[in-house]
Amino acid sequence: MIAFPNAKINLGLYVTGKRDDGFHNIESIFYPVPFCDVLEIIESEEFSFQTEGISVTDNPEDNLCVKAYNLLKEKYDLPPISMFLLKNIPSGAGLGGGSSDAAFTLKLLNDVFKLNITVGQLTEYAAMLGSDCPFFVPDYPAYVFGRGELMEAVNLSLKGCYIVIVCPGIHIPTAEAYRNIRTYSTMKIPMPHQVQRDRPYWKETLYNDFENYALGQYPELKEIKEKLYQSGAFFASMSGSGSSIYGIFESKPDVDFKFKVWEGEMI
């Protein structure tokens, strides 16, 4: 059986404080994007995990797909499987590719072996694998908060809009990004309300707290964002802690970027 783990973007991302457990509280709107990896799972005589496309960790046990399988195997005594991952979404880009792969592994195993795990239970298992993983279980536009594992659906559709995602391959470690947050944000307008405003206002009110450091440290990121706006995007931003920059357009733009990794219609 085959699934297509998709990417996400952040429409605004605010770091609101540090938690007692060492994580940070955030607030963001996550929106799914139809830029996908390909994941196949079939029952086998022995376990195997293969990848193609963009390189991932050399140690299979460190891959979130394998961790997702091992998590469910402990609870449901799964048989061995053969798992194949075609990796298209770049890692460390703020697009949630690894988290999506993990969540879709849980969902695919549930379907293949008819485990009858509820969406709520799958979401709980996903949270054990990573903060962003739970979002990809229901996989709908959501207001995300806490350390990223809590979410509420938002009434938001960008269907018919066009997105261009640019990723210059700059690696910004998440820990480094958080270390360079100088002040914590306070919401004047709740995030679900911010995205209900007319789209021209997004540029004025939606902001990614990680941009202040990233765009200052890496001027090429700032140049990419500026070019997206110059090309007609109604909103452009860095996704997650970077380093991908995306622009959303009302219609397909006539633009070309050296480090473009994907473009297409939103869902």
Catalytic residues: 8, 132
Short-list 72, 85, 99, 79, CA closest to 40: 85
HSE-up (13 A, CA, CB side) for residue 18: 9
**3-state SS string over 61-94?**
HHCHHHHHHHHHHHHHCCCCEEEEEEECCCCCCC
Amino acid in the structure at residue 169: G
Residues 115, 118, 120, 121, Cα dihedral to 10°: -20
Judge whether 228 and 247 are in contact, CB under 8 Å: yes
What is the DSSP code (8-state) at residue 259?
T
